[in-house]
Amino acid sequence: MSFFKEYALQYFVSKNILTQKQKDAIDGYNKLGLFSLRNELLFLISVSVLFFTSGIGVLVYKNIDSIGHQILLIALFVCTVACFYFAYKKANGFQKEQFFFKNPLYDYLVTLTTLLGCIFIGYFQYNLKLEYTNYNVSSLLAGIFSVIMAYYFDSTSALTVSISSFATFVGLSLSSYVFINGSFTDETTVLFSAILFGIILLVWEYFTVKTKIKLHFGFVFLMFAVHIINVACISGLNFDIYWWLCCLVLLASTYYFYQKSFQYKSIALYVFTLLYGYIGFNQILVAILYSTDFLAALVLYCTPFYLLASIVFFIKAVKKFNTHKHDEA
């Protein structure tokens, strides 16, 4: 036991807050060296859910001819309904505020229900055997199902699945556009679709804060948006046209997420914002410097010092953020 803990216990005994017997019991407990495995066990449960759903996929793939599509559909439906029933029995109904199951295992049951439901929706459309089947419909339905699960059971995992499904819907819809029209008229369709989807997530986060419905979901929207918008903008900097627009959006995005990182006190959002801003800045800087031979040669000599200065900047920026967060706390 540390000196501070021992001193604190002695102080509590002297002030009659604790009895000597209670102090001895605390000393005996501390000497046992017990520690919690809760986080490790929850991680193993998450992995087991992932392996279970993956195993179902492998089972379907390897035994589809012998089992039959209808049997698998029925089995998936029964498993989804059974998992939903047990989770529903333990849930408190829809609530605007965050709530937790008394047993954290039910959180993973909700995740399993969501994944099984999405698998069932996709597999059901596959069995329809429609000509020129496109899975954007099943992706949209999976997203709607997942978002309902997320809001009713207060599950960030289900929310993550729903956003991923909606993103897949956007991507597959663009693929349908390519199939119908032969090819993209230009790559800006993908670029601006990604940026627009990211902006929709930001609007979703805004209304989440305004309505105060599941406030903790706002951070999930921001984490998806910061990756989608910034990756799209950085990719757009390579285009011959609209690169200036991507530059402006990247600048605005960096400022917006920088402010949001302090609002949510999220070091992850702060670091990703700086990282994407740094990558975009360097991409523009390199394009400018390599426009002339003299500046290109100068870059070779200055690069080591620039990288060193960048590392120092990142370290100081993270320290400053942590200091600011602790001061406000």
Distance CA 163, CA 250 (A): 22
Find the domain containing 14 and state its range: 1-34
User: Measured between alpha carbons, how far is 95 from 115 in angstroms, rounded to an integer?
Assistant: 22
Question: According to the model, what pLDDT value does residue 147 have?
Answer: 95
Residues 6+ apart with CB under 8 A from 135: 122, 125, 172
Spatial separation of the C-alpha atoms in residues 196 and 202, rounded to whole Å: 10
| Cα atoms in the 13 Å half-sphere on the side-chain side of 82 | 6
- The answer on 71 and 116 residing in a single domain is yes
pLDDT band at 204 (very low <50, low <70, confident <90, very high): very high
Q: In whole angstroms, give the CA distance from residue 195 to residue 184.
A: 17
Exposed, middle or buried, 16 (CB in 10 Å: 0-12/13-18/19+)? exposed
What's the one-letter identity of residue 279? I
Give the type of residue at 173. S
Q: What is the pLDDT of residue 1?
A: 45
3-class DSSP state of 186: coil
Cα separations in angstroms, 133 against 11, 130, 137, 138, 176: 74, 5, 9, 10, 10
pTM value is 0.76
Q: Which of 29-43, 58-72, 232-246 has the highest mean pLDDT?
A: 232-246
State pLDDT tens for residues 297-326. Answer: 666 677 778 788 888 888 888 888 888 776
Task: Calculate what percentage of the chain has a pLDDT beyond 70.
Answer: 76
Decide if 94 is inside a domain. Answer: yes
C-alpha span between 222 and 206 (Å, rounded)? 10
Res. 31 pLDDT band, cuts 50 70 90:
low
Q: Are residues 52 and 98 both part of a single domain? A: yes
Residue 329: the pLDDT is 54
- State whether 81 and 156 are in the same domain: yes
Judge whether 90 lies within some domain.
Answer: yes
Tokens of 37: 């495995």
Q: How confident is the model at residue 172 (pLDDT cuts 50, 70, 90)?
A: low
Whether residue 309 lies inside any domain: the answer is no
Q: How many domains would you assign to the chain?
A: 2
| Per-residue pLDDT band at 149 (split at 50, 70, 90) | very high
Show the CA angle centred on residue 258, arms to residues 254 and 260, nearest 5°: 120
User: % helix / strand / coil in the chain, to the nearest 5?
Assistant: 80, 0, 20
- Domain end, chosen from 145, 168, 191, is at 168
Specify the pLDDT at position 107. Answer: 84
What is the maximum span of the chain, computed from C-alpha positions, in angstroms? 84
Instruction: Give yes or no for a contact between 73 and 120, defined as CB atoms under 8 angstroms apart.
Output: yes
185, two tokens: 């008229």
Residue 160 included in any domain: yes
Residue range 21-49: mean pLDDT, rounded:
67
Report the distance separating Cα 312 and Cα 82, nearest Å. 54
